[in-house]
A and B are shown apart, each in its own frame.
Chain A
Amino acid sequence: NENTSTSNEVEVKTLQSTITGTVLDDTGQPLPGANVVEKGTTNGTQTDFDGNYSLNVSDGATLVFSYIGFKSTEIAVNGQSSVNATLAEDAAALDEVIVLGYSTQTRGDLTGSVASVDVSEATKAPVVNAASALQGRVSGVTVVQNATPGSPPKINIRGFGTSNNTNPLFIIDGLQTDDPFVLNSINPNDIDQMNVLKDGAAAIYGARASNGVVIITTKGGGYNMDKPVVSVDTYTGFSTVANTPDLLNAQQLGDVLYQSAINDGTAFNHPQYGNGSSAVVPSTLNGYTRVVSYDPITRGPASATVNPNGTDWIDAITRTAVIQSVAFSVANGEENSKYNLSANYLNNPGNLLETDYKIGQIRLNSEFKIGDKVRIGEHFSTAYSNSKGGGGAQYEEAIRSSPLIPLYDDNGNFAGTGAQGTGNSRSPLAQLNRQSDNFNKTVRILGDVYLSAQLMDGLTFKTTIGGTINSFNTRGFQALDPEHSEPLGVNQLTERNQDGYSWTFTNTLNYKKTFNNSKIDALVGIESVKDGVKGKVVSRTDFLFETPDFYLLNNGSGVPLVNEAFDSATSLYSLFGSATYSYGDKYFVTGTLRNDTSSRFTGDNKSATFPSVSAGWVVSKEDFMSSDSALSWFKFKGSWGQLGNQSLPASNPTINISNLNEQYGNYAIDGSSIATGAILSSVGNPNLKWETSEAINAGVELGFFDDKFNVDFEWFKITTKDLIVQDNSLISTTAIDAGAPYVNAGNVENTGFDVTLRYKDETTSGFKYGVDINFSHYKNEVTDWISEFQVGDESYRGGAVSRTQVGEAISTFFGREVIGFTDTGRFEYRDVNNDGEINDDDRTFIGSPHPDFTYGLNFNLGYKSFDLSLFLQGSQGNDIYNYNKIYTDFPTFADGNRSVRVLDSWTPINTDATLPALSSSIQNSETQPNSYFVEDGSYLRLKNVQLGYAFSDKVANSVGLDSFRVYIQGTNLLTLTGYEGFDPEIISSVTGNNLTIGVDSQVVPQSRILTLGFNLKL
């Protein structure tokens, strides 16, 4: 009856009235930007900053109030002129708009595996690198913190599928990068959304997506705000080293050395501990000398008083560090423009003396409407940082420094190994102090400019150019070390200057159309990406003064040396498209296709195409589902996709590269002057092709009791084919000394599941609570390999500790298996091949660095003005190769200090010992890779506890503020672990090569931090 509706329309137009009101959240706070729509029409508005709105509606209308992250509410006007609404938070946030990079989607419509970080919760902890916010917050994503100030964490999504860069592709507004250092330049307070694409849904990013994609969008203000919102967030933290190993005191070390000599059958005759029938701690270092003049180096006698208990070197080089952060932002928006301006400063000193990281950032995000159809905007950020390193090497020196050496000699100079019997470690205290004027300065500019235009109804064109420019500038001064037993003859200054750039130019056309119950969302795009870096490292020796105002290369008197110079670039050109069709908000299907052309490959391998499909079915919207059932949401989803990986540490991996090489290639062919030589420095592989991953994902989402309780379960299988590794079997020890070629070495499968459980509720008395649990499991298996196996990093004393082989997980520990002690107190190794003798053929797999599962637990409690959150995070079933035991448990450096574990060494009456019989030298190959070094690395860590108190509006307003909250927080307060090293949370691979993971060597331990902070708005 068309006539009726026509007459109604007429009626609507004639009988209008103005309704005003306020939209509040369930705590009574106004909700700015909430949508108010007259039901069944397109007539609507948004609330202003105070949550107020005004709308002309027809009589008898019903208003629909909605806001992202809240449940929609419908209220009939019923002749009132004022309608206020209170919106409850929507636990499932199914209506939340998720930014997927090129496009957006509401959460309920997703068919791929997309995890979102609760940014406000995750950035409660003092987050330095935005990627840290992923730790324990989303299932399937493993994040290991790096405690070296300024160093980014290591991120792995769903197992280990590649051996090179496992970092996901980061999309930061319009910028694309896989360099996690870039995230240092993102102020965590500026982050609006952080979403992780874990499966074939990432295929839209094709060649760079196989490690997953992390999409970060930053806050941009809102249109139609009626006044600027100013926020200030600041905190001060006090950090200490969470755990240190127990080492011997001076007498204990002497006793160990004494017993070692006795066991060896040699007379005890130690330059410091004497030659009596027991070790005696000397009152001063016997025969202590230090350098008194140079050229030639002349040592002179000096005196150094020994601390009777010995020096605690770890204590001497660590401190309580004070962390400070201030962040400020102002956001506003009018009808045709909006902006968010922010600035922050962070000072994050390390627990090691003289280590430091400082960063200051400014960001401006703004957007302008030009007419109805065009929007122009930008994100622009500048960051300046300075870090002073001094990482795990100093901890290693501290572990193996003799406790007899005092920190300072009797004249107040740094003391060192200038006396016999005190080893040859460098004083870590002196080293840290001498590097205090070194710096690593970085200036980074990043951002993008975009324009989007609505070409016709439903059709939008968007062009974005984003990029980053960075400039590194470092100074490393190596000062003289007169206290050291192996002193330098001359000091040296090394400077590095390096400029890098990366840009992405993206153009997309997006068509969205709704007709009847069907929705179509289609996208096509074209993209170019280019990255490059150019720089040099120059050094010079012999500086007259060791004061920082003298540290300029032209002040050295040695010949300047160009240690390194480089200039390389890579590029990628892509075409892509996607199409989504949905019916009745119940059935969804999406397909994507991307073609990439990479400068890293040649010929037919240069270009590849990556497809994906996904589908979803919202069962709970079917008629046969009872609407009042406890099961409020029920969705199946599944996806399949192919993803690529072309991220390699080499820009030109397909060609042989020879270089003129001063260090390794030149030779004095005429006996005196140096002739220039060239060497083959890297071997190319013209047949190199993409590493591709085939990802299958199947999931179910369940919501109960109006989505108060949610369960997400996803199963996945990711098959990585043509895994790219440097082939050290091809360029082995019998080969040319060039870098090994990158080859497509084999296939790896990661199979597993991710589970997320969420419960959120509020009692009638106003007690709010929520629990969020995520749990992830993967099984990694090598299914094909070009050679029988590949060994991991060989640079450890005793050689590689891990091996990658078909049928095992990537990088499984490999060595001898210790099964007890022999009758003489040596390690007894298992005779694996039962041939009656123990040799290299008796090595076997002795542990896996891969966890059985990882998990995170997040609890939120709120009552009246108080809020409390607890965050626990852990890993279960992974092994760690505790490489530090080579120094602490064995006489690798006999006069260096040891762990208290050596007090439980084998003796004829202590046969159930931890360690073999003491000796002053390594016996029976006991430091070659073996199972003694493999420990259970499981841990459960109370990562964060925060208690906050929000002052009442009355109190806040009385001091001129809109809101005011204070909090106290503890980070890493408690760790449950059986691991005996510094810390079970380790970034395993120094080289970044995933064929060697889970090795604890020169790792900077995590900090325990107590933080006080406040958040205010005005």
Chain B
Amino acid sequence: CSDDFTEQPAIGALSDAAVQNEDGVELLLIGAYSTLDGIRNNLSGNGFAASGDNWWFDVLADDAHKGSTDGDQAELFEMETYNWTTGNPYVLGKWSSTFAGVNRSNAVIALIATIEDADLTGKLAEARFLRGHFNFELQRIYGNVPYISEENYANTEFNQPNPGPIWDQIEADFQFAVDNLPATQAQSGRPSSWAAKAYLGKVHLQQSEWAPALALFEEIINDGPYALNSEFVANWESAGENSSEAVFAIQFTADDAVSYNGNIGGVLNFPNPGPFGSCCGFYQPSQDLVNAFQTDGSGLPLLDTFNQTDVANDYGKEDDEAFTLHTGPLDPRLDYTVGRRGIDYNRYGTFPGHSWIRATFSDISGPYLPAKNVYQSGDTDNQGSGAWGQQHAGINYHIIRYADVLLMGAEAAVETNDLASALTWTNLVRNRAKNMTYIQDETGEVDAANYEIEPYTAFASQDFARKAVRHERRLELSMEGHRLFDLRRWGNAASVMNEYITNESRTIPNFGTKANTVEAKHDILPIPLNAIDLSGGILQQNPGY
């Protein structure tokens, strides 16, 4: 019997040696990009929570309700009603998928360090950009997270303590990316140095480091390659993907069969049954959000008073019960963001009312549908197929788009009292909205609602500018997974949320009854119990949990 007999190779596997070259780096780098959507191997926790598009963080903010019936994804109901527990699988799902991203990036970084005969700086910069992204997500969600370095990765030392923020490491990754990425990339899924600058600016902004943030945004706005699409809605259509407005996006792609590259984490967020019999009725915009789109007679938002009147809604009414559309002036972006009764919904025809809503009138989800994450009728490239594949949408998720850059720039400018820049950049965003095509009624010849929007003529004070820019962010970027982190950055999350719960209860009484008071501890999620248990006590729980 020869010695070979007790050597059995792993057939079909790539050994460590097989990937230790340029091709191997590229294979693992694609593998790292692949975790941007949040879908990973051996996921712990809730799979929908893992989603890279951060949809359910809008549910924790004032933009959206969970949707569907209260008992559907009861764990998310607990999150929405601020009945947070450390064992909630949503808390774990996002955590575990994001760390997979951190470490797939580490795998590339560690591998490149072992290859001497090729210049892989560009790949290294991409991998560090990705690691920066994943660590940024962790940092702003959980507050106190362990930093897993490429050395930790190489030594299989994943249990690291979480003494405090890891901003410095995040900034270092993005700075390396700024310094080493090319200004343009042939493949639209890869970040350019401009994208790295935008992200680095975003990282500074989240820490209220206004000056360095402003410097970066100014450079991008003045010298960068970006421009706003003429149509707001083009950002969520296949034709408008990777356009001049796209800075960095998750490249979701619908394909035949079961679409692994579609937005699997977002599959719940389609109308049920709705215009195309989809599933599952989640991610319903709030009345508070709809109210925020009200404008005054001069086309400007009701910054302080939008909740004093409610945009007419059909909550509690069946389709066959009479309903009168809201006649007051509205920002036209509303109906590209929110589906509501009486208005065309993503070109599928007029939203008939409750028959497209899965939630019942005793549930806390309200009468609205999400629009940005749902592909437009006829946009077949973005529609997946497969057993449940029609929900595996190919709509790219914009981690950063140019409108976001402009408004982040405006925010940094406001805080440094550069009100002129703030006004200019905010008005760029408003003017695009003003000049875009408005949704029409069934005749196709008349605006579907009383749309009125105008740019600001001036920012009278820093306080006013702050209020205006923050409100503009909500109008432009709502239902894109940013709102909760904006509130956290502004330091008013608890008060805004408690006010929201009160306001929302006017139209959805059960929401007020079931939601708990938001406290300061809710500014960050708890560290998942499972993570603490598996760390053998190395990870420490966040305060208050």
Give the distance to chain B from A981, nearest Cβ to Cβ, in Å: 22
- A663–B386 Cα distance when bound, in Å, is 14
Set B77, B103, B277, B387: member contacting A299, Cβ < 8 A? B277
Set B87, B96, B104, B190: member contacting A669, Cβ < 8 A? B190
**Residue-wise interface mask of B (1-21) relative to A, using a CB-CB cutoff of 8 A (1 in contact, 0 not):** 100011111111111101100
The segment out of B287-295, B420-428, B457-465, B524-532 that lies at the interface is: B524-532
Q: Which residues of A contact B85 (CB under 8 A)?
A: 925, 928
Give the distance to chain B from A648, nearest Cβ to Cβ, in Å: 13
User: Which single residue of chain B is at the shortest CB-CB distance from A680?
Assistant: B107
Q: Do A671 and B534 have beta carbons less than 8 Å apart?
A: no
Q: Which residues of A contact B146 (CB under 8 A)?
A: 734
Q: Do A734 and B34 have beta carbons less than 8 Å apart?
A: no
> Number of contacting residues on A, CB 8 A?
119
Residues of A662-709 at the interface with B, using a CB-CB cut-off of 8 Å, are 662-672, 674-681, 683
- A298–B1 Cα distance when bound, in Å, is 66
Q: Do B188 and A678 have beta carbons less than 8 Å apart?
A: no
The segment out of B37-45, B298-306, B333-341 that lies at the interface is: B37-45
**Residue-wise interface mask of A (569-581) relative to B, using a CB-CB cutoff of 8 A (1 in contact, 0 not):** 1111100000000
Q: Do B11 and A674 have beta carbons less than 8 Å apart?
A: no
User: Which single residue of chain B is at the shortest CB-CB distance from A665?
Assistant: B31
Q: Which residues of B contact A681 (CB under 8 A)?
A: 13, 41
- A971–B388 Cα distance when bound, in Å, is 43
**Residue-wise interface mask of A (642-668) relative to B, using a CB-CB cutoff of 8 A (1 in contact, 0 not):** 000000000110011111111111111
- A652–B85 Cα distance when bound, in Å, is 39
Q: Is B167 an interface residue (CB 8 A)?
A: no
Q: Do B106 and A528 have beta carbons less than 8 Å apart?
A: no
Q: Do B278 and A266 have beta carbons less than 8 Å apart?
A: no
Q: Is A97 an interface residue (CB 8 A)?
A: no
Q: With A794-B530, A840-B541 in contact, is A296–B513 under 8 Å at CB?
A: no
**Residue-wise interface mask of A (256-279) relative to B, using a CB-CB cutoff of 8 A (1 in contact, 0 not):** 000001001111111100000000
Set A598, A729, A736: member contacting B6, Cβ < 8 A? A598
Q: Do B189 and A679 have beta carbons less than 8 Å apart?
A: no
Q: Is B33 an interface residue (CB 8 A)?
A: yes
Give the distance to chain A from B419, nearest Cβ to Cβ, in Å: 38
Set A491, A660, A922: member contacting B14, Cβ < 8 A? A660
Q: Do A492 and B387 have beta carbons less than 8 Å apart?
A: yes
Q: Do A540 and B34 have beta carbons less than 8 Å apart?
A: no
Q: With A599-B7, A729-B159, A734-B531 in contact, is A677–B74 under 8 Å at CB?
A: no
The segment out of A22-30, A312-320, A419-427, A851-859 that lies at the interface is: A419-427
**Residue-wise interface mask of A (306-346) relative to B, using a CB-CB cutoff of 8 A (1 in contact, 0 not):** 00000000000000000000000000000000000000000
Q: Is A839 an interface residue (CB 8 A)?
A: yes
User: Which single residue of chain A is at the shortest CB-CB distance from B85?
Assistant: A925
Q: Which residues of B contact A787 (CB under 8 A)?
A: 536
Residues of A484-543 at the interface with B, using a CB-CB cut-off of 8 Å, are 485-492, 526, 528, 530, 539-542
Set B69, B188, B531: member contacting A670, Cβ < 8 A? B188
Q: Do B87 and A799 have beta carbons less than 8 Å apart?
A: yes
Q: Do A270 and B78 have beta carbons less than 8 Å apart?
A: no
- A491–B387 Cα distance when bound, in Å, is 6
Set B27, B153, B242, B537: member contacting A736, Cβ < 8 A? B153
Set A267, A570, A732, A893: member contacting B74, Cβ < 8 A? A893
Give the distance to chain B from A861, nearest Cβ to Cβ, in Å: 55
User: Which single residue of chain A is at the shortest CB-CB distance from B377?
Assistant: A296
Q: Which residues of A contact B74 (CB under 8 A)?
A: 891-894, 921-922
- A791–B529 Cα distance when bound, in Å, is 11
Q: Is A568 an interface residue (CB 8 A)?
A: yes
Residues of A270-301 at the interface with B, using a CB-CB cut-off of 8 Å, are 270-271, 289, 291, 294, 296-299
- A923–B77 Cα distance when bound, in Å, is 11
Q: With A661-B31, A661-B41, A921-B77 in contact, is A655–B19 under 8 Å at CB?
A: no
- A787–B537 Cα distance when bound, in Å, is 10
Q: Is A789 an interface residue (CB 8 A)?
A: yes
Q: Is B328 an interface residue (CB 8 A)?
A: no
Q: Interface majority SS on B: helix, strand, loop or mixed?
A: loop
Q: Is B86 an interface residue (CB 8 A)?
A: yes
The segment out of B113-121, B171-179, B247-255, B446-454 that lies at the interface is: B247-255
- A559–B159 Cα distance when bound, in Å, is 42
- A863–B530 Cα distance when bound, in Å, is 63
Q: Do B513 and A266 have beta carbons less than 8 Å apart?
A: yes
> Number of contacting residues on B, CB 8 A?
114
**Residue-wise interface mask of A (725-761) relative to B, using a CB-CB cutoff of 8 A (1 in contact, 0 not):** 0001111111111110100000000000000000000
Q: Is A920 an interface residue (CB 8 A)?
A: yes
Q: Do B514 and A264 have beta carbons less than 8 Å apart?
A: yes
Q: Is B545 an interface residue (CB 8 A)?
A: yes
Give the distance to chain B from A206, nearest Cβ to Cβ, in Å: 14
Q: With A799-B530, A840-B532 in contact, is A656–B15 under 8 Å at CB?
A: yes
Q: Is A900 an interface residue (CB 8 A)?
A: no
Q: Is B260 an interface residue (CB 8 A)?
A: yes
Q: Which residues of A contact B276 (CB under 8 A)?
A: 296-297
Q: Which residues of B contact A738 (CB under 8 A)?
A: 41-42
Q: Which residues of A contact B32 (CB under 8 A)?
A: 677
Q: Do B534 and A573 have beta carbons less than 8 Å apart?
A: no
Q: Do B69 and A540 have beta carbons less than 8 Å apart?
A: no
Q: Is A895 an interface residue (CB 8 A)?
A: yes
- A894–B528 Cα distance when bound, in Å, is 25
Set B30, B387, B510: member contacting A490, Cβ < 8 A? B387
Give the distance to chain B from A413, nearest Cβ to Cβ, in Å: 17
Q: Is A606 an interface residue (CB 8 A)?
A: yes
Q: Which residues of A contact B160 (CB under 8 A)?
A: 734
Q: With A670-B188, A733-B95 in contact, is A921–B34 under 8 Å at CB?
A: no
Q: Is A798 an interface residue (CB 8 A)?
A: yes
Q: Do A733 and B99 have beta carbons less than 8 Å apart?
A: yes
Q: Do B531 and A266 have beta carbons less than 8 Å apart?
A: no
Q: Is B444 an interface residue (CB 8 A)?
A: no
Q: Do A659 and B387 have beta carbons less than 8 Å apart?
A: no
Set A294, A490, A799: member contacting B529, Cβ < 8 A? A799
Q: Do B514 and A797 have beta carbons less than 8 Å apart?
A: no
**Residue-wise interface mask of A (548-569) relative to B, using a CB-CB cutoff of 8 A (1 in contact, 0 not):** 0000000000111100011111
Q: Is A975 an interface residue (CB 8 A)?
A: no
Q: With A424-B72, A528-B1, A794-B44 in contact, is A664–B34 under 8 Å at CB?
A: yes
Q: Is B342 an interface residue (CB 8 A)?
A: no
Q: Do A651 and B10 have beta carbons less than 8 Å apart?
A: yes
Q: Do B16 and A656 have beta carbons less than 8 Å apart?
A: yes
**Residue-wise interface mask of B (222-250) relative to A, using a CB-CB cutoff of 8 A (1 in contact, 0 not):** 00000000000000000001100000000
Q: Is B139 an interface residue (CB 8 A)?
A: no
Q: Do A891 and B42 have beta carbons less than 8 Å apart?
A: no
Q: With A652-B10, A669-B189, A736-B158 in contact, is A662–B260 under 8 Å at CB?
A: yes
Q: Which residues of B contact A739 (CB under 8 A)?
A: 41-42
Give the distance to chain A from B377, nearest Cβ to Cβ, in Å: 9
Q: Do B8 and A652 have beta carbons less than 8 Å apart?
A: yes
Q: Is A608 an interface residue (CB 8 A)?
A: no
Q: Is A800 an interface residue (CB 8 A)?
A: yes
Q: Do B187 and A671 have beta carbons less than 8 Å apart?
A: yes
Q: Which residues of B contact A471 (CB under 8 A)?
A: none
Q: Which residues of B contact A420 (CB under 8 A)?
A: 69, 358, 360
- A675–B242 Cα distance when bound, in Å, is 17
Q: Which residues of A contact B14 (CB under 8 A)?
A: 657-660, 678
Can you report 12 residue pairs joining A to B where beta carbons are below 8 Å apart?
A: A270-B362, A420-B358, A569-B8, A656-B15, A666-B261, A676-B27, A677-B31, A733-B44, A733-B528, A733-B531, A735-B158, A799-B533
Please report A residues at the B interface, Cβ cutoff 8 Å: 261, 264-271, 289, 291, 294, 296-299, 420-421, 423-424, 478, 485-492, 526, 528, 530, 539-542, 558-561, 565-573, 597-599, 606, 651-652, 655-672, 674-681, 683, 728-739, 741, 787-789, 791, 794, 797-800, 803, 839-840, 891-896, 920-923, 925, 928
List the 8 closest pairs (A to B, CB-CB), nearest first: A297-B277, A677-B30, A296-B276, A894-B71, A735-B158, A678-B27, A737-B100, A736-B103
**Apart from A678-B31, A893-B72, what 6 extra A-B contacts exist at CB < 8 Å?**
A569-B8, A671-B251, A677-B27, A732-B535, A734-B95, A921-B83
